[in-house]
Chain A
Amino acid sequence: AQSVTQLDSHVSVSEGTPVLLRCNYSSSYSPSLFWYVQHPNKGLQLLLKYTSAATLVKGINGFEAEFKKSETSFHLTKPSAHMSDAAEYFCVVSTGGFKTIFGAGTRLFVKA
């Protein structure tokens, strides 16, 4: 069975400081993993995806994530937070079929 766990429901950082959003997954075979961002009352936007190529994946808006098989993790990072990064972030694992499994989400707050 596949599952995904986002370890923090809320993360608060100051503008200009690093961002770390944590995600662990469980999969019986090599997964595809994704991060999406959702701003209030908006749809979800794909930030980046891992599909068994390079383990360090670079996405939009300066975000990146590293796939670590030994730790079954796919944490999202950004060196310096911006106010516009305040949003909800979802870690997602693909089952390899037609469906994907979403984490519960992490809400990122950015303080001025």
Chain B
Amino acid sequence: SQTIHQWPATLVQPVGSPLSLECTVEGTSNPNLYWYRQAAGRGLQLLFYSVGIGQISSEVPQNLSASRPQDRQFILSSKKLLLSDSGFYLCAWSVRGLAGVWQFFGPGTRLTVL
């Protein structure tokens, strides 16, 4: 069966510090991978998605970046965190079905920037 891991589960970082969040998927090959952010009281915002190694599409301009160094690994990074980067970060992978895409989500990382 497929599983998706995210770490760390929680993170508290000072403003201006770097960030690296990691997501890995097991039990599937060549998944589509996604990073979402969920700010307090708001819905999910798609940040990046990837359809293959080294292929990253950015949805929202910001100080975050993503990389996919391996087929089942997706990394979210920042060189300098802002207060507004605080939120709940969710990684997801998807199966391309016959009609439409449904996604499976990781447990999330709670990031607090102070």
Contact = CB atoms under 8 A, between A and B. Distances in A.
Interface of A: 30-32, 34, 36, 41-46, 49, 51-52, 90, 94-100, 102-105
Chain B interface SS verdict (over half): strand
A102 to B, nearest CB: 5
Nearest to B32: A98
Contact of B101 (A41, A45, A99): A99
Interface string B94-114: 101111111111111010000
A34 B32 contact: no
B44 to A, nearest CB: 5
A97 B43 contact: no
Contacts of B97: 32, 51
A52 B104 contact: no
Contacts of B7: none
A34 B44 CA distance: 15
B35 interface: no
A43 B98 contact: no
B104 A102 contact: no
B51 interface: yes
A interface: dominant SS? loop
B22 to A, nearest CB: 15
22 contacts: A31-B100, A32-B102, A36-B105, A41-B110, A43-B90, A43-B106, A44-B44, A44-B92, A46-B102, A51-B97, A90-B43, A90-B44, A94-B102, A96-B100, A98-B49, A98-B51, A98-B101, A99-B46, A99-B49, A100-B101, A102-B43, A104-B42
Given A41-B88, A103-B43, A32 B108 contact: no
A34 B108 contact: no
Nearest to B108: A43
In the A-B complex, the 10 residue pairs with the smallest Cβ-Cβ separation, listed nearest first, are A32-B100, A94-B100, A43-B105, A44-B105, A104-B43, A51-B99, A102-B44, A43-B107, A94-B101, A43-B108
B43 A105 contact: yes
A90 to B, nearest CB: 7
Interface in B51-78: 51
